[in-house]
Structure 1
Amino acid sequence: MKPEDHDLFITRTMNVTRDQIWKAWSDPKILEQWWCPKPWTVKDVNMELRPGGASQMVMCGPEGEEMPQNGCIVYVKEKECIVISDCMEKDWRPTGSSFMTAIITMKDCPGGVEYSAIVKHKNEEDKKKHEEMGFHAGWGQVFEQLEEIAGGL
């Protein structure tokens, strides 16, 4: 899959295995260690890696901010692809609003795993808002944190 209009894209080669990445995604206590760029943290993680499963957590900022994140796992191919959207919650319940759908892919490559994200937005305004929020720097930092945590598993 390739990025299109209204999409943001980021990719990295990580010196880890897909097994390690999958473990970092599938264990809530491990996911808490890498999910958002520090100094932000997450709590109350519920990540059900199955179609229709929950993708829920609360992002916590350094000033005490709390941002609930409620979404749905749309598609999963173990150790290869995870698709998450905030247009639905667990068991396909519509939310009435949406900001993005993220398509995460993992594939073996020289040097480890090519780990990529295409983040789809409904319009250019949402894409620009996400860019202004620091998409590339933030997601880049999260990719680095994931590689570090996964490498120790």
Structure 2
Amino acid sequence: MSSHKDPENLTLTIVSEHAADVDRVWQIWEDPRQLEQWWGPPTWPATFEEHSLVPGGRSRYYMTGPEGEKAGGWWTILTVDPPRSFEFEDGFADEGEATPTTDTTRAVVTLEPVDSRTRMTIVTTFASLEHLELLAQMGMEEGMREAMGQIDGVLAG
């Protein structure tokens, strides 16, 4: 797994490879129960209350911290090209609401076959340098790496 923060282009790119074909890796994004098993670091697991991976679809979730605290989030799905890619807008939310509480990000997820494996690339674009730095200080890069480190366990079943 690798990550690259590019302040000039306001992006964070994370690349990982997984021992499964593209269709199988697509399932961990499409199925909310599988998504819950890895979205969020191990100490902040996610619960998806709504998830529709179709253009215009919405996802609403919260992550629960070690002390029981909850952090809400939402996605609006912008484009979908199953099982190769999708793009979504992502934001934090008050509990139970899909109202942005900060600037939002845009993420593009791309899945591509590499031999018998799948390379997953997630490019997140931030609203501003300040927004990128804020989320970096909150531990976004480390959290994403920890979250994505759980994917192989989900794929193995």
1:8 to 12, 17, 25: 12
Q: Partner residue of 1:49? A: 53
* Matches for 1:1-153 after TM superposition, within 5 Å: 5-86=9-90, 98-152=103-157
Deviation at 1:22, TM superposition (A): 1.6
> Judging changes above 3 Å, is the alpha-carbon distance between structure 1 residues 133 and 39 closer, same or farther for their aligned structure 2 residues?
same
Partners of 2:90 and 2:99 lie apart in 1 by: 9
Partners of 1:124 and 1:111 lie apart in 2 by: 38
Q: Give ranges in structure 2 of 5+ residues lacking alignment.
A: 1-5, 92-97
The TM-score normalised by the length of structure 2 is 0.82
**Aligned residues of 1:23 and 1:150 also touching (Cα < 8 A):** no
Partners of 1:44 and 1:37 lie apart in 2 by: 15
Q: Percent identity?
A: 26
**Aligned residues of 1:73 and 1:82 also touching (Cα < 8 A):** yes
Partners of 1:82 and 1:45 lie apart in 2 by: 20
Q: Partner residue of 1:90? A: none
- Runs of 4 or more, structure 1, over 6 Å off, are none
**Aligned residues of 1:18 and 1:113 also touching (Cα < 8 A):** yes
Amino acid of the structure 2 residue aligned with 1:80: R
Two-structure CA RMSD over aligned residues (Å): 2.5
Q: Which string of whole-angstrom CA distances, capped at 9 and with x for unpartnered residues, describes residues 50-93 of structure 1?
A: 11101211111111111111220011111111211037xxxxx9
Deviation at 1:119, TM superposition (A): 0.6
**Structure 2 SS opposite 1:86:** strand
Partners of 1:4 and 1:47 lie apart in 2 by: 32
Partners of 1:75 and 1:49 lie apart in 2 by: 9
**Aligned residues of 2:7 and 2:129 also touching (Cα < 8 A):** no
